[in-house]
Structure 1
Amino acid sequence: MILNTRRFYCCVSALSAFLSVPFVVAEESNSKTRAVLEEVVVTARRREEGLQETPLAITALSSDYLDAMGVSSIADVETLSPSLQFSQTNYKAPAIFIRGIGQRSGNPVLDPGVGVYLNGVYIPRSDAQLLDAVDVANIQVLRGPQGTLFGKNNIGGALLVDSKRPSSDATEVEVRVTAGSYGRKDGKLTANIPWTNDSISSRIALNSKRSDGYIDNVNSSHNLFDEDRLAVSQRTIWYPTDTLELDFFSFMSRIDERGTPYSCGFQNSGAILTQGVYRGSGGENLKAACDASAALADSFKVSQNDEDAVYAIDNQMYALTLRMPVFGLEMESVSSFALQDNIRISGDSDGSAVESVSVGSNAGNAVFMGGGLTAPSADRNQFTQELKFNGSLLDDTLKLTFGIFYAREELNNTLDGTDVGDNGLVGIPPDAAVALPVAVPPAFLLPVQANTASLADYENETRAIFAQASWDVYDWLQLTLGLRYTEEERHAIHTMVVPDYEEYANRLNAQIGTNPAILLPVVHAMDGIYSPVSRDQYFAYQAPEVPLVFLPSITGGTTFSEFTPLFTANFIAPESLANALNFDSVIAYFTVSDGFKSGGLDVRSTQTGSELQQFDPEQVRNTELGVKIDALDQRLRFNVAVYQLDYTDLQVALYERGNTNTEVVQFTGNAGEAVVDGFELELTALLGNWTINANAAYTDGDFIEYDLGTNTADGFAIVDRSGEAFPQVPQNVRGMVVQYDWESPIGRVVPSLQYYYSDEIFIGTDYLSGEYESSNIGQYEIYNARMLWDVSDQLSVAAYINNLKDSSYFVGGIAVTSVIGVANRVPGSPRQFGVEVSYRFQ
């Protein structure tokens, strides 16, 4: 039978409106009305299924629930789903982790460990994943490796973000404005527009977010954690025939903000950068500046360079989806193109007011500008094509999903840099340098030129074929088998940009006589180090323009391939058994699934040269047991999952000393094996007018093998780091939302209280980090309150207070102990309050 595609997807759209945690409906019983939990529809297995029937750990959040909770970006979902963390590690891009698996580095050679999909389109770069929830229909959090059905293998899990489908019923317009503390001014406009003959309709959304920032930078007139974002999306659906649907989606956003605030915690006086004597308004001593920053931690203040932390990027996405029946199957074709440009992302790596070191693309721009050059503009683009088929056989007892996937990503003029000191000029005391040819009196300083930059082009290509079948063997047993074969190709061209040390000496010497303190000529001695001068002469220099040299480009390519299978046994309790247990429904499932994340090529760059080296794919096997229960006449929902992840060839960003006295090297390597054990639970209960949503997770990660070769203060060595804590992931998290639904004489009033607790987090990156207590972020708990007033069907008003107790805490950070010598902690939000007003024109 040929399906009417238009009617089919209209029904799907209606079903998806029920996607919620929780969704409450009124049910007539004995002339009385009682609230019950509605069935939730999810697409975690690439077809529409009930949440409580799907043998997978999922959190599903509807637009109504997201609005009620004040969620305006996917990062806000963290407190609503167990085992999900949006960790703040570097820059301002989110580092998403599920069950302890993610990717803390924003290095473009690395794929994220958790996949984010917008209307089925994969978002490849972590700094493009912080999507503002412009017109969201639902967000689904899939926990555990999604290695079979999704466009890119996602070893930690996946976040599925779907926008609202347009309706041909009527024109609707909604306006929402928010005003609050710290200059919060948000505006959101959404419109549903039917066009002609009920065959074409569109949804358009415009979202603007503005905030002055809630972390005070005492070294600047500008606050940090500011917001300056504009996003627009549209979705148009056209039915040329009754069996063909064309779905065109576009999304554009612009972000232009300051970067992540860091509260500096001093660690290692023997680190390369802590021994420097710096120039500039921030002072010369990194330890003193770091301690000054740490003293501000309890007052939501930091002290760091205003210009070193930047987060700016433009995103565009265009996707065309075709849906139609083909030979009794439902075919879906998704073609997409994405572009990121105007990229300026950097972090103040020392987290202090001292002009010590910043890294990232904007730091690369500063290096080029310091050499009198303009860096070429970077951009990234991705094309994807997926063809998927859904069908069923054997009287609908065998459900099939299969297809192919292709992606090509190009990253052009990818810029990175290390901007040190005053345009690269730093002084180091003689005892901080090794292998000096002659003894130097301690009263003198050795001038150093330490700026570097790099340009790289990357091409990544993915090809995959996948299939999954679910067989209802009996009414009480469903078996699922899935398999994906993936091929990945990676190509890279890399050019290192370094100073011309001899010419730089000439430019320093050209200042002799311009200031009475500048008396001695200098010569380049070694490793960017120049012959000693007095402190007075070092501080009298005007930092000259740095002559830059482009080293010969290096190129390379590599390929990877992998099979990732899945097996699931789903046991559905017969009605008689469920009744005997006093349950409405219950399933128990057992699953074994594999995940794979491609390896790649990274450059290990030094001041004297570069080498392109390969890192291997990450692989994980997930063994999981789960139970899903509805009870108390559909007023209680309880889901729990217990799992073990066997993790091999972890991809880690390594920071180490370079081959010279002055350089810091970052590159990617693999780190042996790990095991992650844990459990998750979610509970929703309706108690009269009260609704309780609770979640909790336990994540215990242990390194089995973690042996890495690295440059230490004593030379190159193999370091055993298997005793380290698992990075960036709290062992225990829990959250709860309690709300009361009151139908008052003046309209529906819903007060709610949210609680969230996170355990301590290890933020270390190198072999020395584990020796310092400051490499751990302490536990914290947060209380948020919200009051929603539905004045009428058209007008709603909400007021909120976040962080009711005004507690100071840290939400993440990064410790680079051996080379920078500090732990940078990212402060959480102070108490904030505001009011939201929404009006719907119908």
Structure 2
Amino acid sequence: MRHLYPGTLYLALAATLPASLLPTAYAAEDQLSLEEIVVTAQKREQSLQDVPIAIQALGADILEQNSVTSISDIGNLTPGLSICNSIQDGAEIAIRGIGTAVLGLGFDQSVPLYLDGVYLGRGFDLIGDLMDIQQIEVLKGPQGTLFGRNAAAGAVNVTTQSPQEDFAGSIRAGIGEKNLRKLQGTLNIPINEQLALRANAAVRQRDGWQKNLDGGDPLYEQDHQSGRVKLLWSINDDTSVEFTTDYSKFDDTQGGYLLTQASSGIPTQDLDDKSAPSTTRLSDGSVVDPAVERTANGYAAKVLWDINEDLTLTAISSYRTFELDMFVGTGALTPDVLDLSPGPVFPFDNLSVLVDQIEMETDEYSQEFRLNGVTNNWDWFVGINFFKSEAEQIETFALPGIAVLTGPPLLGTYGDDRQGSKIDTESFGIFGDVIWHITDRLNASFGLRYSYDEKEVTYFRVPQRLNLLFATVPDDFANGITQDKADWDDVSGRIVLDYQLTEETMVFAGITMGYKSGGFGTTTGPTTAAAGGAFDPFDKETTTSFETGLKAKLLDNRMHLNASVFYTHFEDYQLQIADLTQPATALDLSAPEATSHGVDIEISFAMTERITLGLISGYLETEYAKDVEDNNGVVAIPEGQDLLRAPRWTTTATFDYTLPIDIGQIRFNATYTYRTSQRLTNSTTESLTSATITATGGDPGFSFSENDLESGSYGLLNARLSFMTADERWEIAAWGTNLTDKAYRDDDSLAVSNALLGAIGGFIGTPNSAFAVAPYTRNEPRMWGIDVTYNF
């Protein structure tokens, strides 16, 4: 792999002047200037330009101008941040190529998400359609001493609006592409001098944009309901309590997999195709409802107590629940041309080999106490937090082909195999951070954290009719419950120096350590239990990151320039890779070493009072620094292979123009994002081709290339044109996302061969019944809409 070192990277990027999503330009005392952005990344209110951390802040205006409604949408606005929006797997977040693209309950995210200071373990892609958001902060690099747990690669911090002292509200209605209908309302009520209430609710419905080739409902339908209520109780001048409850229910339909390559005789599709087979077809030709129902509830209380002028105590308590109910099938992998029937007795046309109903429930409790203080030249805080979760997942499989061997019950029923896994987690951390103002220009920041995590796994399996096919299933899995427990601890810290070269320019350099707890692999499938040792614990993941950078205000504060160079080293990096010899089974592995290094540069420029420009660009190189071996000592991932979701180049350009007129204001905003290709799977072309030939018993009719394992490069254009009345009460806006209708691979399902189907086919005398395909989901196509907003 080609490497560029920090000095070379600076020279390579200097001419491009990449930059950031823009803060608002304004004129103060006849001086055009950029508005200051305040962030709380270091648990203190600070100007973005004063924080010695690589951080990007997305305010409410940026989110509105880009029609952002989900966590996955912000990935295309933030270079270095990649988020998969697969409904099947939920959001997968990676920063600088480091993330957690795995299945099962036993893994935690390398990039955690926090909602108003509360750590979200599950269901973080359900945050009320991101309504009434004050700001989203994306922190790059390990953040263990600043945030609760597992922030080994970075953190996403979402802050919602708090109740205000003035009566206000808004109503927004919108229509758009694919029969989009949405209604959103916010109401802020100052009840008395001590109490203020803020409530909002939203409904969003949209028809599916992907035609279901198997009949039934279109795919990617949306039916979202969400709401949030905040009550602020100002007990006195020194103490306040904010109570929050939120609710989200998303009833969507899954997306179908496109077959871009397949064995001879199986029809293929282009990524531009907006139709796909349903993933849930049964053997009798009926289609299971491809619905995905997700529900999240949250309750939180935040106490702020100013003990005196120098000390503030913060306490955050929360309880959250998340539920998921969905079907996952392989209808997309079994087109109509496939026929395993040995005769008219078994009508196997339209066979779905595996249909899996997944039911998941999680309960999460968290408590954090933090004491902030200012003493002479010291700005510090210390804190403790506790997190407890109970996560349970039950999968019920239907394997229609088993009836060939076992007879009744009839095809299309469930219960051929039922498996469940449960993970109980308890986590404790004590942490502290201090800024030492050594001189008026020089600061030193020190952070230290001790983390302890304990997990207990419980697993059960009832194979029922599968006993005949998988006779090696141990009795303890078939008839009983097995349990295991493990714990991990770690000490991590950070040291950062920042120096004010001038009143407008600051440079910084630091070393930061990160940690993510170990866990248990709990991925299930028809042969999981037979794998043996599938539930052995895997070790913790640790990180060491070196970063240096600068933050500058130029041209009398009309331009902001932020730049950083980083190098991150991971040990025991946690990952999964498909076990191509066993259908529906994943191998849980640890990479001995992985690295990520590159450059981020941001610029915002107030060209005139009407025009503001922004450009962000990032260069990234990642790799597995040593061979990754599977449980049998076979190299599964070779040294030098790229990590997942790590595009080499990312660039986002923003243009904002405001035109005052007699009756109000016209505004136009456009954002263009470009990303080079990124790897979507840890599998190699060699392993995939070999497994495919083995499963099909011969030449499958195609071979795999690196392009089949990557997203492909792409550019996305979003735009919004709005008119607001002079009194700022009414606004009408027309918006569009992905205006060029660019299609790219967003996720893959690399079950490229079906060994189970091959085994069944061979058993009934049709040895070439197995097939091979390369299935992908694609991104959302062009969408447009019109919104009308009334503010009061």
Q: Would you call these one fold, judging by a TM-score over 0.5?
A: yes
Asked if 1:779 corresponds to 2:713, the answer is: yes
Residue identity opposite 2:721 in structure 1: M
Asked if 1:52 corresponds to 2:52, the answer is: no
Residue identity opposite 1:25 in structure 2: Y
Q: Are the counterparts in 2 of residues 557 and 601 from structure 1 also a CA contact under 8 Å?
A: no
Return closer, same or farther for 1:727/1:418 CA change in 2, 3 Å cut-off: farther
Deviations 1:740-796 (A, max 9, x none): 111023321111222111111222243524953312221111222210111241001
Deviation at 1:497, TM superposition (A): 2.4
Q: TM-score, normalised by structure 2?
A: 0.84
Q: Distance in 2 between matches of 1:450 and 1:667?
A: 25
Residue identity opposite 1:38 in structure 2: E
Which position in structure 2 is the counterpart of 1:579? Answer: none
Deviation at 1:384, TM superposition (A): 0.4
Q: Are the counterparts in 2 of residues 95 and 103 from structure 1 also a CA contact under 8 Å?
A: yes
Deviation at 1:20, TM superposition (A): 8.8
CA RMSD of aligned residues (A): 2.7
SS at match of 2:73: helix
SS at match of 1:650: strand
Asked if 1:613 corresponds to 2:543, the answer is: no
Q: Distance in 2 between matches of 1:400 and 1:349?
A: 57
Asked if 1:827 corresponds to 2:762, the answer is: no
Asked if 1:174 corresponds to 2:170, the answer is: yes
SS at match of 2:131: coil
Percentage identity across paired residues of the two chains: 24
Which position in structure 1 is the counterpart of 2:142? Answer: 145
Which position in structure 2 is the counterpart of 1:443? Answer: none
Q: Distance in 2 between matches of 1:343 and 1:683?
A: 44
Deviation at 1:831, TM superposition (A): 2.2
SS at match of 1:761: coil
Which position in structure 1 is the counterpart of 2:743? Answer: 808
Q: Distance in 2 between matches of 1:52 and 1:345?
A: 47
Q: Are the counterparts in 2 of residues 692 and 739 from structure 1 also a CA contact under 8 Å?
A: yes
Asked if 1:701 corresponds to 2:622, the answer is: yes
Q: Distance in 2 between matches of 1:682 and 1:320?
A: 36
Q: Distance in 1 between matches of 2:749 and 2:528?
A: 22
Following superposition of structure 1 onto structure 2, how do residues 343-742 of structure 1 map, counting pairs within 5 Å?
343-344=325-326, 346=328, 348=330, 353=335, 355-356=351-352, 363-364=356-357, 378-394=360-376, 397-412=377-392, 414-420=393-399, 422=400, 424=402, 452-501=417-466, 524=468, 527=470, 550-575=478-503, 585-603=504-522, 606=528, 608=530, 610-611=532-533, 612-657=535-580, 663-688=583-608, 689-709=610-630, 717-742=634-659
Q: Distance in 2 between matches of 1:501 and 1:27?
A: 74
Q: What is the total number of aligned residue pairs between the two structures?
A: 702
Q: Are the counterparts in 2 of residues 606 and 663 from structure 1 also a CA contact under 8 Å?
A: no
Deviation at 1:288, TM superposition (A): 4.2
Residue identity opposite 2:746 in structure 1: V
Deviation at 1:335, TM superposition (A): 0.5
Q: Are the counterparts in 1 of residues 710 and 745 from structure 2 also a CA contact under 8 Å?
A: no
Q: Are the counterparts in 1 of residues 674 and 714 from structure 2 also a CA contact under 8 Å?
A: yes
Comparing both structures, which one devotes a greater share of its residues to strand? 1
Return closer, same or farther for 1:609/1:694 CA change in 2, 3 Å cut-off: closer
Asked if 1:255 corresponds to 2:250, the answer is: yes
Residue identity opposite 2:561 in structure 1: F
Q: Distance in 1 between matches of 2:522 and 2:92?
A: 22
Which position in structure 2 is the counterpart of 1:437? Answer: none
Q: Distance in 1 between matches of 2:487 and 2:731?
A: 54
Return closer, same or farther for 1:347/1:321 CA change in 2, 3 Å cut-off: farther
> Which ranges in structure 2 are unaligned for 5 or more consecutive residues?
1-19, 281-287, 336-349, 406-413, 690-703, 756-771
Return closer, same or farther for 1:265/1:333 CA change in 2, 3 Å cut-off: same
Q: Are the counterparts in 1 of residues 562 and 603 from structure 2 also a CA contact under 8 Å?
A: yes
Q: Distance in 2 between matches of 1:614 and 1:162?
A: 35
Deviation at 1:156, TM superposition (A): 1.6
Deviation at 1:647, TM superposition (A): 1.0
**Which of 1 and 2 has greater Rg?**
1
- Counterpart pick for 2:677 among 760, 777, 788: 760
Return closer, same or farther for 1:81/1:74 CA change in 2, 3 Å cut-off: same
Deviations 1:212-244 (A, max 9, x none): 122222222422222111110011100122221
Q: Distance in 2 between matches of 1:696 and 1:424?
A: 53
Q: Distance in 2 between matches of 1:417 and 1:104?
A: 23
Residue identity opposite 2:618 in structure 1: A
Deviations 1:451-488 (A, max 9, x none): 54311221100011001110111111110000000000
Q: Are the counterparts in 1 of residues 565 and 599 from structure 2 also a CA contact under 8 Å?
A: yes
Which position in structure 1 is the counterpart of 2:23? Answer: 22
Q: Are the counterparts in 2 of residues 88 and 826 from structure 1 also a CA contact under 8 Å?
A: no
Deviation at 1:393, TM superposition (A): 0.9
Residue identity opposite 1:179 in structure 2: I
Q: Are the counterparts in 2 of residues 140 and 159 from structure 1 also a CA contact under 8 Å?
A: yes
Which position in structure 2 is the counterpart of 1:304? Answer: 278
Which position in structure 1 is the counterpart of 2:3? Answer: none
Return closer, same or farther for 1:125/1:819 CA change in 2, 3 Å cut-off: farther
Q: Distance in 2 between matches of 1:20 and 1:805?
A: 21
Residue identity opposite 1:398 in structure 2: W
Residue identity opposite 1:798 in structure 2: A
SS at match of 1:182: helix
Q: Distance in 2 between matches of 1:52 and 1:231?
A: 35
Residue identity opposite 1:829 in structure 2: E
Return closer, same or farther for 1:471/1:549 CA change in 2, 3 Å cut-off: closer
SS at match of 1:766: coil
SS at match of 2:76: helix
Following superposition of structure 1 onto structure 2, how do residues 30-45 of structure 1 map, counting pairs within 5 Å?
34-45=31-42
Q: Are the counterparts in 2 of residues 114 and 157 from structure 1 also a CA contact under 8 Å?
A: yes
Q: Are the counterparts in 1 of residues 456 and 486 from structure 2 also a CA contact under 8 Å?
A: yes
Which position in structure 2 is the counterpart of 1:220? Answer: 215
Q: Distance in 2 between matches of 1:342 and 1:603?
A: 17
Q: Are the counterparts in 2 of residues 173 and 189 from structure 1 also a CA contact under 8 Å?
A: yes
Deviations 1:66-98 (A, max 9, x none): 223322222221222220111246715111111
Q: Distance in 1 between matches of 2:477 and 2:450?
A: 44
Q: Are the counterparts in 1 of residues 643 and 682 from structure 2 also a CA contact under 8 Å?
A: no
- Counterpart pick for 1:264 among 259, 262, 267: 259
Q: Distance in 2 between matches of 1:808 and 1:697?
A: 22
Deviation at 1:591, TM superposition (A): 1.4
SS at match of 1:76: helix
Bigger relative contact order, structure 1 or 2, given CA contacts below 8 A and separation 6+?
2
Return closer, same or farther for 1:74/1:571 CA change in 2, 3 Å cut-off: same
Following superposition of structure 1 onto structure 2, how do residues 271-286 of structure 1 map, counting pairs within 5 Å?
none
> Which ranges in structure 1 are unaligned for 5 or more consecutive residues?
1-18, 270-286, 366-376, 428-448, 503-523, 530-547, 576-584
Q: Are the counterparts in 2 of residues 679 and 698 from structure 1 also a CA contact under 8 Å?
A: yes
Residue identity opposite 1:753 in structure 2: A
Return closer, same or farther for 1:159/1:53 CA change in 2, 3 Å cut-off: same
Q: Are the counterparts in 2 of residues 312 and 345 from structure 1 also a CA contact under 8 Å?
A: no
SS at match of 2:620: strand
Residue identity opposite 1:558 in structure 2: A
Return closer, same or farther for 1:595/1:730 CA change in 2, 3 Å cut-off: same
Deviations 1:498-527 (A, max 9, x none): 13457xxxxxxxxxxxxxxxxxxxxx5x64
Deviation at 1:602, TM superposition (A): 2.3
Which position in structure 2 is the counterpart of 1:445? Answer: none
70-79 vs 564-573, which moves further: 70-79
